[in-house]
Chains A and B, each alone.
Chain A
Amino acid sequence: MRIRKFTIIIHMIAYLIALIWVLPFLGLFMTSIRDYSEIALGWWKFEKFNPTLDAYNAVWNILTGPPSMMVSLLNSFIISVPSTIIPIFVASLSAYSFARFSFKLRDMLFLTIVVLMSLPAQMVIMPIYFLMAEVGLLDTHLGLILLHSSFGLPWIILFLRNYFRTLPVEVEEAARIDGASDFRIYWQIVIPMSIPALASIAALQFNWVWNDFLFALIFLQTPEKKVATQLLPMLRGRYYVRWDYIAAASIITMIPPVLIFALLQKYYVKGIVTITKG
């Protein structure tokens, strides 16, 4: 009997905690689908309840002033997709040579890259700003893509190098005896065997780029070029906070990362656990 009581109490605590954690999200969602006059009374009150998509309509189109959510969401995709693909390709090449070749300075070079992984962005951001201004990449999507791609390299190299080392060398050696070139071995044997690792990396890198705020804030200035995370703080009304707009835009902005997490949850969590262990 005592055991049963204990189990019930534990379950109640767990569900209560889950409720506390989900409450802000629930509030944000309720705020996004209700009229401003209803929100002011508290989103948890339901005497008057007329769900509406007005706020979504307002932020999706131009009603809140440029840029619209539609444009900034598109910009987020234009930046996040290449910023996921490029570093994975570039990093996997060098991760492969770190894992399978031995050459002078290899371990020192690798250690340097690992150390750079936890480098705060603040330490490099100003010279990059000057550099981009000089070559005309300031306020362009291309500039931001190159920056995100380069910043993703260290952790992806570390992740993939460790993964490649767990793959059996025998397959590659057999292919080499059959006369396959190094690039073919990498591209047709190593990469296909690494799909689970690549899925983890892609999910994390995409979300990190999508969620980025600091780089976008500094490097994108034209309203029409701005990304979704940049738009959110701009939605604050002039005289009072338009919580309905902010809530709707926030919900839209978090859909892609949440979707990726939901679909690739196993890989996502595995990636987080692996990469932070280093």
Chain B
Amino acid sequence: MVKKASPPVFFYFLLPSLIMIGIFIIYPLIYTFCMSLFYWKGRTIVSFVGISNYLDVFGRNNIQEALVHNFLWIMIHVPLCTILGLFLALLLRNIRGSSIIKTVIFLAMVIPPVIGGILIRFIFDVDVGVVNAVLGAIGLVKPRTWTNLPDTALFSLIFGSVWLWTGFSMTIYAAGLEAIPKEFYEAAKIDGASDTKIIWHITLPLLKPATITVVVMNILYALKIFDIVYVATMGGPGSASTVLALEMYIEAFYNIPPNFGAAAVIAILIGLLTLVFTIFMRRMVK
């Protein structure tokens, strides 16, 4: 008797994952690329238009603004979060009650980003906001709702989001610090190195992997930013605080009738930027 050939076990083990990833990730991914090449009327394809959706989208003011805002987000958010996180991780090494402080700071990462957005709107509010109370007490400025003004909306969001994400960088750096063997410090101390020298020449170089993780994750986050903006400002006033992911949502699911071709172009733009930044950072490592 010859045993009938049947697919090996690993095939059955893989199958459910492959089906789900195929249906909900691979197929839609390819579909989105195709969508960007057609002219859409509502949910029906009218005609193949090649790259004209791309030209249309990149020519728009609100998209260019959104792109600039995403870049501003990266330029401000990434260095601030990284430096603050590192500073806190170093600072909290020898503090009594540091685990509670770390937990409190990380808490902002645990709550839904939607609540993060609400909290940002809340602390910058004209009536109930603590920012106005503090600045007013010093006598600096007239109270205002910072997230509602064209000049300050975007920056309020970015600084608020730094508040939300510093816990992440701090945690990654704290884990990185723990992994450094104590002997390194002891050897340096015996050689008579000062504290600042130890941090500069031993700690920081050994934290390079942690830094790369922090920077990459922050960039990916800044490129995809949506929840906070949607809840706190909805991109307003006008398009003063809009970002790419929000513009994509508005094109596809908010405007009536939707413009799926344009939305697909924005989605692809976000995806490509994500890819480029990830590859760029990986290259920097090597």
Q: Which residues of A contact B (CB under 8 A)?
A: 7, 10-11, 13-15, 17-18, 21-25, 27-28, 31, 39-40, 42-44, 90-91, 93-94, 96-97, 101, 103, 109, 113, 116, 118-131, 146-147, 149-151, 153-154, 157, 182-183, 186, 207, 210-214, 217-218, 229, 232-233, 241, 243, 246-247, 250, 253-254, 257-258, 261-262, 265, 268-269, 272-273, 276-277
- Decide if B112 touches A122 in the complex (CB within 8 Å): no
Interface residues of B in 247-286 (CB under 8 A from A): 248-249, 252-253, 260, 263-264, 266-268, 270-271, 274, 278
**CB pair A122 B17 closer than 8 Å:** no
Stretch at the interface among B56-64, B184-192, B199-207, B225-233: B225-233
Residue of B whose beta carbon sits closest to that of A182: B9
CB neighbours (8 Å) of A272 from chain B are 168, 171-172
Q: Say which residue of B10, B105, B113, B209 sits within 8 Å of A101 (CB atoms).
A: B10
B112 touches A229 (CB 8 A): yes
Residue numbers in B under 8 Å from A15 (CB-CB): 101
- In the bound complex, what is the Cα–Cα distance between A39 and B106 (angstroms)? 27
Contacts of A13 in B (CB 8 A): 91
Stretch in B75-83, B121-129, B149-157 with 4+ CB within 8 Å of A: B121-129
In contact, B20 and A90 (Cβ under 8 angstroms) = yes
Chain B's interface size range is: 35 or more
A119 with B29: in contact, given A24-B123, A250-B115, A273-B172 (CB under 8 Å)? yes
Evaluate whether A126 and B35 lie within 8 angstroms (CB atoms) in the complex, with A94-B17, A119-B29, A211-B112 already known. yes
**How many contacts A-B (CB < 8 Å)?**
241
Q: Indicate whether A269 sits within 8 Å of B175 (C-beta atoms), given known contacts A97-B13, A123-B270, A276-B213.
A: yes
Judging by beta carbons under 8 Å apart, are A126 and B32 in contact?
Answer: yes
Find out whether the CB atom of B267 lies under 8 angstroms from the CB atom of A22: no
Given A123-B270, A149-B20, A257-B110, A276–B227 Cβ distance below 8 Å? no
B95 interface residue per 8 A CB criterion: yes
* Most chain B CB atoms below 10 A, which of A42, A90, A103: A90
Taking a contact as CB atoms under 8 Å apart, the answer to whether A151 and B25 are in contact is: yes
Contacts of A147 in B (CB 8 A): 24
* Closest chain A residue, CB of each to CB of B220: A118
What's the nearest-Cβ distance from chain A to residue B31, in Å? Answer: 4
Contact: A126 with B263, CB < 8 Å?
yes
User: Judging by beta carbons under 8 Å apart, are A27 and B18 in contact?
Assistant: no
**A232 close to B115 (CB less than 8 A):** yes
Given that A122-B248, A182-B9 are contacting pairs, would A254 and B112 also be in contact in the complex, using a CB cutoff of 8 Å? yes
Given A150-B21, A258-B107, 8 additional A-B pairs, CB 8 A: A14-B95, A96-B13, A113-B21, A153-B21, A247-B122, A253-B112, A257-B112, A269-B175
* A94-B14, A118-B278 given; A18·B29 CB < 8 A: no
Q: A18-B104, A253-B112 are in contact. Are A97 and B122 (CB under 8 A)?
A: no
Q: A123-B267, A131-B28 are in contact. Are A90 and B17 (CB under 8 A)?
A: yes
> Judging by beta carbons under 8 Å apart, are A119 and B95 in contact?
no
**7 A/B residue pairs, CB under 8 Å, sorted by A:** A18-B100, A94-B16, A103-B10, A131-B28, A154-B25, A211-B114, A261-B110
With a 10 A CB-CB cut-off, give which of A14, A103, A120, A211 has the most chain B CB atoms: A120
Interface residues of B (CB under 8 A from A): 8-10, 13-14, 16-18, 20-21, 23-29, 31-32, 35, 43, 88, 91-92, 94-96, 98, 100-101, 103-108, 110-115, 118-119, 122-123, 125, 127-128, 130, 133, 163, 167-168, 171-172, 175, 209, 213, 217, 220, 223-224, 226-227, 230-231, 245, 248-249, 252-253, 260, 263-264, 266-268, 270-271, 274, 278
Contact B32 A14 (CB under 8 A): no
User: Whose C-beta in chain B lies nearest to the C-beta of A240?
Assistant: B127
Q: Given A43-B128, A127-B28, A214-B226, is A28 in contact with B101 using a C-beta cutoff of 8 Å?
A: no
> B190 CB to closest chain A CB, in angstroms?
19
- Please state if A119 and B94 are interface contacts (CB–CB under 8 Å): no
Query: Among A153, A211, A247, A258, which residue has its beta carbon within 8 angstroms of that of B17?
Result: A153
CA of A254 to CA of B111 in the docked complex: distance in angstroms? Answer: 6
Residues on B with beta carbons closer than 8 Å to the beta carbon of A91: 17
B25 touching A150, Cβ below 8 Å: yes
Query: Chain A residues near B16 (CB, 8 Å)?
Result: 90, 93-94
Q: Which of A25, A127, A233, A241 is in CB contact (< 8 Å) with B231?
A: A233
- B112–A153 contact, CB under 8 A? no
Least CB distance from B260 to A in Å reads 6
User: Are the C-beta atoms of A127 and B105 separated by less than 8 Å?
Assistant: no
Bound-state CA distance A123–B25 (Å) is 9
- A94 with B13, Cβ < 8 A, contacts A24-B122, A124-B32, A147-B24 known: yes
